[in-house]
Amino acid sequence: MGAEVVIEGLTKSFGRQTIWRDVTLTLPPGEVSVMLGPSGTGKSVFLKSMIGLLKPERGTCVINGVDIVRCSEHKLYETRKLFGVLFQDGALFGSMTLYDNVAFPLREHTKKSETEIRRIVLEKLEMTGLAGADKKLPGEISGGMRKRAGLARALVLDPEIILVDEPDSGLDPVRTTYISQLFLDVNAQSDATFLIVTHNINLARTVPDNLGMLFRKELVMFGPREVLLTSEEPVVKQFLNGRMDGPIGMSEEKDSATIAAERAMFEAGHHAGGVEEIEGIPAQMQPAPGMPTRQGAIRRKDRVMQILHTLPPAAQEGIIESLSPAEQAHYGVDPLPADIGRHSSTTLDGATAYQPSRGDL
Ligand SMILES: Nc1ncnc2c1ncn2[C@@H]1O[C@H](COP(=O)(O)OP(=O)(O)OP(=O)(O)O)[C@@H](O)[C@H]1O
Ligand SMILES: [Mg+2]
């Protein structure tokens, strides 16, 4: 089983600039989670804090009993071996071929023979659509290829925890969906715990078990995907529909006067952008046929059903609808009448009701 990551009260600043404060969430073992948030809200800083590259001032991040924030260098080195990380910029070594880049963690952390390393490296390159590109240098390939090479390297040690920072940036929509499929297939095979940072709304809607969002220096929400996908919270709705109409602005967050002025403009007919207003919960992507069943998905079902009563009504409804009749009978739940809960809202304060660290996840 993948490792559980328990984060409590994490606060990170650079000098006098607080990036985020009091972030509390649990990544359930073997489940796939996605973190959303406008540019600059500290998503990459969050991932770097989880692997101890950055040191938050307060709070804990505990993996297998080790607090990454305050442990010794030796423990940190050991615990880092559990992670596979795809950094936002790919972080490839520019003077090494893709082959050597992907082989690097194996040579650094294992005693495997070059024959075995070759087998693994070629397998991961093939998985990420890079077969035949092994002799290229990072400077000689496209941005999307660099991203996939970074992913191949992140997967090479069969990590228990996989962190990926914007896997879709630089990828076309079809490649992005293939990468999404790859994540679910890797998760089915390895039961690794995933945290994916992305701006890609298709991925966010269809891949993860859990969804979270950072905004205004705080974790707005983190919980089962159905909670965020049915949320009426303006910042969440704006983000999921990619519109200008809402609290998120071009540079910083808008103040209320700007929001009101813009609202008048949109009501007068100016296009707020975005293609369509998507409501409701699209089906989650599944591992490809022939892959093992995702153990994380099975555990999640039990976990979510235990906290069902704490979730907003619209999320409850979506979760119950996603169960088969046999599962509904097993958990003793009935589908709700269509008009109950559909327009319920989730407030910022309400969000904390299903924060995992409260002991209910
Ligand atoms: N090493 C650092 N020193 C000082 N400030 C930093 C450092 N790293 C990040 N920051 C600041 O922290 C804030 C959050 O940065 P971060 O890269 O985490 O944003 P992000 O949410 O990942 O954005 P994007 O979606 O654009 O990748 C930014 O204001 C950035 O300038
Ligand atoms: Mg980032």
Beta strands in 161-244 (DSSP E): 161-165, 193-197, 210-215, 218-224
Note down pLDDT in tens along the chain; length 361 residues.
789 999 999 999 999 999 999 999 999 999 999 999 988 899 999 999 999 999 999 999 999 999 999 999 999 998 988 999 988 777 889 889 999 999 999 998 889 999 999 999 999 998 888 889 999 998 898 888 888 888 899 989 889 999 999 988 877 888 888 889 989 988 998 899 999 999 888 899 999 999 999 998 999 999 999 999 999 888 888 888 888 877 888 776 677 888 888 888 878 878 877 766 677 788 999 999 999 999 999 999 999 999 999 999 999 999 999 898 999 999 888 876 655 444 444 444 433 334 443 333 3
Q: Which amino acid is at 328?
A: Q
Token code pair at residue 319 = 């979760």
Which domains, from first to last, does the chain contain?
A: 5-228 (3.40.50.300), 236-267 (no CATH), 295-358 (no CATH)
Mutate to test the pocket of ligand 1, among 10, 44, 164, 253 (most ligand atoms within 8 A of CB): 44
Residue 112 pLDDT = 93
- The upper half-sphere exposure of residue 222, i.e. CA atoms within 13 Å in the direction of its Cβ, equals 24
Residue 238 pLDDT = 86
Displacement of CA 97 from its chain's centroid (Å): 29
Per 3-state DSSP, the chain is made up of helix, strand and coil in percentages (nearest 5) of 40, 15, 40
Residue 88 pLDDT = 77
Residue 253 pLDDT = 66
Mutate to test the pocket of ligand 1, among 13, 19, 200 (most ligand atoms within 8 A of CB): 19
Token code pair at residue 108 = 């650094």
Residue 359 pLDDT = 34
The angle formed by the CA atoms of residues 122, 188 and 111, to the nearest 5 degrees, is 40
Atom 9 (ligand 1) nearest CA: 45
Pairing between strand 193-197 and 5-14? unpaired
Residue 249 pLDDT = 80
Neighbours of 331 (CB within 10 A): 16
Is the C-beta atom of 280 inside 6 A of ligand 1?
no
Residue 248 pLDDT = 81
Residue 333 pLDDT = 87
Instruction: Please indicate, yes or no, whether the overall pTM of this predicted structure exceeds 0.85.
Output: yes
Atom 4 (ligand 1) nearest CA: 14
DSSP at 42? S
User: Does the CA dihedral 223-2-36-285 come out positive or negative?
Assistant: negative
Token code pair at residue 166 = 């914007």
Atom 30 (ligand 1) nearest CA: 40
Q: Which of 214, 213, 251 is nearest to 229 (CA)?
A: 213
Mutate to test the pocket of ligand 1, among 10, 12, 14, 250 (most ligand atoms within 8 A of CB): 14
What span, in angstroms and rounded, lies between the C-alpha atoms of 31 and 184? 10
Residue 62 pLDDT = 96
**Tokens 């924060």 belong to which residue?**
355
Token code pair at residue 291 = 């892959």
Is the C-beta atom of 47 inside 6 A of ligand 1?
no
The closest ligand to the CA of 39 turns out to be: 1
Residue 344 pLDDT = 42
